[in-house]
Structure formats: structure tokens, C-alpha cells
Amino acid sequence: MILTLAIRNVWRNGRRTALTVAGIGIALALMFTSMAMQNGAWNMMITAAIQATAGHVVVQADGWQEERDPNLVLQRSTEVQQALLEAYPDAVVVRRVFLGGLLSSPTGSQAVAVQGVEPVREAELTLLDDQLVDGTWLPDDRAIVVGQRLAEILAVELGDKVVLMAQVGTEELESRLFRVRGTFRTGNDTLDAFAAFVPLAAAQELMPFDDPAHQVAVVLPSIGRGKLDTSRAAQALAGRDGLEVLSWSEALPMLEEQQRVDTQMNVYIFVLMGLIVAIGVTNTVLMSVMERIREFGVLLSIGMRPRMLAGMIVLETLVLGSVGAVVGLLLSIWPIGYLTTHGIDYGDLMANNSAGGNVPIDSVLRAHADVPQMLQLAVVGALVAVLAALYPARKATRLTPVEAMHHH
């Protein structure tokens, strides 16, 4: 009966209730949608970053993660790769070399960051082979693929020769001739102006080591951004010295940190929105309490306990909040559904966001709904509404019947 009463009381002033429910619903729907978009963005950035510059598990020469010293190489890297392939049969395992150097054409030169990659295996991971504006992805040993902006700086076109000079290990500068076989445009200025890719074999020729690589990366099929146990890799490589075995979150610590900061920001924004909604709800409840004071006086007179009256008010708000939460969930279905299937094409804007590290990234951002998280937030939303009722409910418990009946 009290629940029935509470539910009916909520709909007593239909317009006010509808407005409040709409307020809660819209605020929640906005939160749900922005959460889903952010989830999607992080999924995408982390997947891209993992695939392009790291892996779910990365194996590097001990200390490389800290120092990025090109002399810290894994030698006989093919053996490491084999061992990892046996440990992770489903995974793509790639070897990579990261070099700084000077790339020169007849008309100019530019400092560049060169990645030596295994053309076929890397193509399974990188988005670059699809983002080529011109040419082919590393068709032969002498091929180099450069950013479009870099090609403009060097004034080179497909088929033109360029010379890469790098210094690793020895005092001497090593240099090697390449032909531009492809240009890419990611929209990320750093990548487009300073990055170049060459076959691993060619990069290795510039380095005075035995089958060197800076990194052997294991990219698992669909593990997302969860925590990862690297012990399988460590086991597979037991007996080899001078290695570091890292999980993606260790290899890309900035990403983790940024994600944390982003989540923190979310919390602030949500608390702020929650506060605004709570103020609105408090106002609604207070109004509905004030205009019923005389009625409450009668209820208290006929023997209703003040606590029960307060309970009824809280219950009313719980009903209000729950309806608001359900409306919020319903309202968010369409936008999240649309953003999940179609996404938003951020174009250069997204690609220029270097939050995920300087890695090529899909320009279409798709939402990814985390349903348990949404439900949690919906419950929190309803509870915030209840919290907002505590003050008016407390006021009601202080009423004496006679005062209440004489209230104007």
C-alpha cells in the first residue's frame, strides 16, 4: 500500500515529474553515450598502439624499455621469435628494429624514425598498408615506405632513390640505398613527416650484430585491453639472458596512465552532473513535500509514524530515480547503437590526437558499450536521487501534526 501510494504520489504532478525524469534520463543517457564513446576510443587507441609499436607481450633486450638505446639489441632474434611462436600458436609474432637516422634525397635531407619490420607479418598488424596513398607496402628488400609529408620535404616520388644513414654500434655511419615504393598519410603529423618503414633484413644490414631486433612482439587475437599474464612467454624464453619480457601495459606505460587520467576526468564530470541532477531532484521533492504539508499533518494525526512518512518520501524519490534510470538506459540505446555500428569519422582530428602514441589509427571512432558499467551507473543514478530526498524527508520527520495542519 505504501509503495502504491508512493508510486501514485510520484505521478501526482505529471509535468513536474516528467521534467525531472527527463532530466535524470538525459543526464544518464549523455553519460552512457560518452562512456561508450570513450571506451571505444580507448579500445581503438590501445589496440592500435599495441599492434603498431608493441604487442600484448613484448620481448626486448634488458633495459631497452628504459633507455631506448639502439645498441641494446636482441641477437639471434629469429630464435626468440620461434620460441614465442611455439608458446603462442594463435598469435602474430613480429620482430622490429627502431632506428634514428638521416634520410637524404638529391634535393634535401630529414631526420627520421625508421622501423625495420617483417613486411608480410607486419602487414597483418599495421593499418599503414591500407593507408598508402601511393605505391605498395614494402614489396622488396630495397623498398622504403615514407610519410607523404616526408616525401614532399625530400621532393621524392615513387621509384626515386633515397639514402638512409644511421649509426648503431660502431663509430662509423652506415648508409644504405632505398627506393621509395610507397607513401602513406595517417593524418598524424609526426608520423607523416618523420616516419619511414623498411624491411627488417635491410635495417639489420645497418647494424653490426647477429640477426638483431629491438623488439619481438606477440600480438594475440582479440584480448582487448585487459591485464595480461606474461609468464608463458617468460617460460618459453627461460635460459636466455639479457631479455626483458613486458606486458602491453608495461611496454606502453603512458597509455595506462592516460587512461587512468581520462577515467579520473570522467569521474569528476559525472560527479558534477550527478550534483546538478541531485539539486534538481531535491528541488522537485522539496516542492512536492511543501505542498503536501497539511496532508502530512493529517497523516501524522491519524497515527502515521514520522519515520514512515520519511520512508514514503524516500520511496517516492527512489521510484522517480528508477524511472529516470530506465529512461536513461532507453534513451541511450539509439545513440550508442548508432555510434557502435556507424561510428564517427573524426578524420584528421582523431589521427592527430597523439594520446595513443604516434601510431596510425583508424579515423572512424566507434562506441563500445560496457553494459555492466552502465547498469552500475544507472543504479548509482537512482541512489543519488534517493540521497537528494534525504533532506526533504528529514524535514518531514520534524513536523508536528498540529503545525503541519496549520501550514500555509
Q: Nearest distance from residue 301's CB to other proteins, in Å?
A: 5
Q: What is the CA radius of gyration of the chain?
A: 31
- Interface residues for other proteins in 367-386 (CB under 8 A)? none
57 or 300: CB nearest other proteins: 300
Among 68, 260, 294, 398, binds other proteins (CB under 8 A): 294
9 or 38: CB nearest other proteins: 9
Q: Return d(Cα 253, Cα 327) in angstroms, integer.
A: 39
Task: Give the end-to-end CA distance of the chain in Å, rounded to a whole number.
Answer: 28
137 or 296: CB nearest other proteins: 296
- Long-range CB contacts (< 8 A, 24+ apart) of 224-233? 224/43, 224/46, 224/47, 225/42, 225/43, 225/46, 225/47, 225/259, 228/56, 228/57, 230/57, 232/87, 232/88, 233/57, 233/59, 233/84, 233/87, 233/88
Q: Nearest distance from residue 306's CB to other proteins, in Å?
A: 8
Q: Return d(Cα 176, Cα 327) in angstroms, integer.
A: 64
Cβ atoms of 27 and 328 within 8 Å: the answer is yes
Q: Give the x/- contact pattern for other proteins in 299-338, rule: CB under 8 A.
A: xxxxxxx--x------------------------------
Q: In which residue are the cell numbers 552532473 written?
A: 273
Q: Nearest distance from residue 24's CB to other proteins, in Å?
A: 22
385 or 404: CB nearest other proteins: 404
Q: Nearest distance from residue 15's CB to other proteins, in Å?
A: 16
Residue 123: name the closest of 138, 143, 144 by CA: 138
11 or 334: CB nearest other proteins: 11
13 belongs to the binding site for other proteins (CB under 8 A): no
- Phi then psi for 140, rounded to 5 degrees? -150, 180
295 belongs to the binding site for other proteins (CB under 8 A): yes
111 or 302: CB nearest other proteins: 302
Residue type, 112: V
Q: Where in 78-212 does DSSP place strands (E)?
A: 92-105, 108-117, 132-135, 143-147, 161-166, 174-184, 195-199
394 belongs to the binding site for other proteins (CB under 8 A): no
14 or 221: CB nearest other proteins: 14
28 or 312: CB nearest other proteins: 312
297 belongs to the binding site for other proteins (CB under 8 A): yes
Q: According to DSSP H, which parts of 291-344 are helical?
A: 293-301, 306-341
Q: Nearest distance from residue 19's CB to other proteins, in Å?
A: 19
Among 139, 335, 343, 401, binds other proteins (CB under 8 A): 401
Q: Which residues are near other proteins by CB under 8 A?
A: 1-2, 4-5, 8-9, 11-12, 294-295, 297-305, 308, 400-402, 405
